[in-house]
Chain A
Amino acid sequence: MKRTGRGFWRLMMALALALSLGMDAAMAEYADVVLNSQAEAQGVRPVIYPHWFHRIRFRCKVCHNELGFQMKVGANNIDMNKILDGKFCGMCHNGDVAWGTEFCDRCHSGLPGLKTGIRGGSKSTGPGEY
């Protein structure tokens, strides 16, 4: 009896985990980008970049041309040194155009364990991509 009970709970846990993982992908705002190639390895939360918030204030061209962001997740090797040197995010997040780098937790706000990638797209949560 005890054994079957444990098995049952394990199954339920697995189901809950699968469900929550599925919801992750489905719930994030369309085009939110998770940056975690270095963040967690360095001991901070992953960065969540909200496209929607930025496109209300800037046209795509400002970041994807002036600031040199490649339009591909993972193609921009960004680290805090570059930002502090005024590159990438640091072109604006310097206390001049936008708030500066002292507010770590406004950007480093992602759940631990998130994978780098663009979220909330038209992908289904099933085994197929679309």
Chain B
Amino acid sequence: MAADTSGRTFSEYLSHHLQNLVYGKLPAGYERVNKDGTVEVLEKDTWTFAYSGEEVSEMGFWAFHVDTLFFSITLGAAFLFIFARAAKNFSMEKPTKLQSFVEMLVDFVDNTVKGTFKSAKNTLVAPMALTIFVWVLLMNLMDLVPVDLIPYPAELLGVPYLKVVPTTDINLTAALALSVFGLYLFFSIRSKGFIGFIKSITLHPFGPWMLPANLFVELVDMLAKPLSLALRLYGNLYAGEMIFLLIAGMVAWQLTFSGIMIGILGTLLSLAWAIFHILIVVLQAFIFMMLTTVYMNMAHEKFEQH
């Protein structure tokens, strides 16, 4: 990992690792600063990869984190491929190890959902919970890949930035949370009716004479759901990744001062954190699934006048 030190300070190393690979549009007239210091003025709007933080902020909203999209979609596709294959080759008499593993996960999710989600009519919630659990778990597990293992060779190949853990990208966690929130609203309105839904956010919890207060409380309560979902996962994984980066950086930058002992210490710290992080990785995936199921259950609850 020490190879990354060439020409970079510790804080540059950190910020480099915390920057996604962005593909977006630079406007005409933008002055690109090349690596050798020369300035290139763009003649027209250009879709390109961002090579610096300034370029990223210049690209604005219509830009894509290519690394997040690539790793998340690859992992999600792998998950679905493996599970679909296990479903297709399902054998009652001779289950393969893969099948047993898949069954174990499906059974686990099914039991969890059945324990929480009481509306048996809705068939979407359980498969969604499975998707969330396995997909988020796979993405979180990317955190256990040593921090420079993929980005460093990629940089040598000319990829300016690379974040391999999709769940450390707020875009991904927010996308999941907003999708879940959208479904929450959809199912709420479907099960309570539009009028019932309006009633549930206006006549609750203080009664009709306190309508504005009710609306305020309920809206805060409602908006807190996607926000907490998105930020919890993002924060946990971002912090975990940050610790790995700090340990790796400490090894890389302190090695020259204090010798090999710091290196060994750093490796041990990294290992210890990785082992502890396994817990967080699984737990966060489970929590996301669990809360999604709880919200779906709330959406199906009938409105009751208190």
Is A bound to B? no
